[in-house]
Amino acid sequence: MTQRHLLEQHRQTLKEVRNIMNSMKMLAQMETHKLADFLNAQRAVISHISTVAADFISTYPEALPQPSESQTIYLLLGSERGFCGNFNESLLQHMENHILKNRTGIPMLIATGRKLCAQLEQDPRVVALINGANVIEEAKNSLFEIINTLVHLQTAHQTPSLIAIYHNPDKEQIVTTEVLPPFEEYRMAAPSSPHPPLLNVPQQAFLSELIEHYLFATLHEIMYLSLMAENQHRVRHLEGAVQHLDDKSADLVRQCNALRQEEIIEEIEVILLSTASPDDNRYKKKASTSY
């Protein structure tokens, strides 16, 4: 097989890889658009819960337990798949910086996303490695595992301090959100109404159910944000990869054209050398008879 044919074969392989990567990029873009709609709905739910919490706690601040020392748990939302650049590495670096800055001691780690979990398998601080979501419909499975883990840890360590670290696509950076304990910002707030809200259940029972709804809704939003950021990182990474393949393919086309031109020139030279002109034949014949 000639060098040109080898280059043509290589170019065809690059074309197939390019088509696969471009399809992956389109799927990631579609998932991003779908997540935007879900996030809008989820934020409306959280806004409503926050309004209820503000009304309740500003009127009954004694319902909130007093702040106390508690075990710190970091929830890290990494990527489930690859082609995301340094998505997981930057997340881990942000966590380590936060631990050093806030002197949280030795925290417990809950990690989601297969790619991130693979990097933390040997970390003794890890208490749970949970598969992430490829698409938004799979987020609930990861969420249930996270909540089950938190329930188990709460039984063993009372109410933990839960800090979520994740990529926020709106801010285009990694953010840190203190999820538990919740509603501390409303403890010293003035009541929004002179009339206290009427409760049909005891304050602690109401607060417990409110926290449950808040935790479920907030973790949903965080997971959606992380999944959107993951897909945005993937789109950008694949765009760069596709462009690189296009440039490489164009270079191979130029090399193939140059080699083909050389082959044509060689074929012409062979033809010219193997075919004698009529004048040359007559000259050779006349020279031979004169002797």
DSSP secondary structure string for all residues of 229-250: HHHHHHHHHHHHHHHHHHHHHH
**203 pLDDT higher than 70:** yes
CB 38 within 8 Å of CB 224: yes
pLDDT band at 282 (very low <50, low <70, confident <90, very high): low
- b or e along 81-107 (b: 16 or more beta carbons within 10 Å of the residue's beta carbon)? bebbeebbeebbebbeebbeeeeeeeb
C-alpha span between 24 and 30 (Å, rounded): 10
Order of all β-strands in the sheet with 161-168? 126-130, 108-112, 72-77, 161-168, 173-180
Range scoring the smallest mean pLDDT among 4-13, 40-49, 50-59:
4-13
| Predicted local distance difference test score (pLDDT) of residue 1 | 58
- Residues above pLDDT 90, as percent of the chain: 37
> Token pair for residue 1?
């097989």
DSSP H or E stretch at residue 164: strand 161-168
How confident is the model over 282-288, as a mean pLDDT? 53
Higher pLDDT: 52 or 193? It is: 52
- The pLDDT value recorded for residue 286 is 54
Across the range 216-234, mean pLDDT stands at 93
Structure tokens at 194: 């002179």
Q: Examine the pLDDT at 45 and tell me if it is beyond 70.
A: yes
As a whole number, the mean pLDDT across the chain is: 86
Helix ranges (DSSP H) in the chain: 3-59, 87-102, 114-120, 139-157, 203-274, 278-289
pLDDT beyond 90 at 262: no
165, 97 Cβ separation under 8 angstroms? no
Q: Quick one: pLDDT at residue 157?
A: 61
Q: What's residue 276's pLDDT?
A: 55
pLDDT, tens digit (0-9, with 9 covering 90-100), for 102-122: 877 789 999 999 999 999 999
**Residue 166 and residue 88: Cα distance in Å, rounded?**
10
Single-letter code of the amino acid located at 7: L
Residue 56: CA count within 13 A, CB half-sphere:
25
Tell me the two tokens of residue 164.
Answer: 């979520």
In contact, 165 and 74? CB cutoff 8 Å = yes
Distance CA(33)–CA(13), nearest Å, equals 31
Average pLDDT over residues 77-90: 91
Alpha-carbon span 168 to 161, nearest angstrom: 21
Domains of the chain in start order, with CATH, are: 20-193+205-238 (3.40.1380.10)
The whole-angstrom separation of Cα 210 and Cα 56 is: 10
User: Which residue, among 147, 135, 140, 84, has the nearest Cα to 110 in the 3D structure?
Assistant: 147
Reduced to 3 states (helix: H, G, I; strand: E, B; else coil), residue 256 is helix
Is pLDDT above 60 for 78?
A: yes
Tell me the pairing of strands 72-77 and 161-168.
parallel
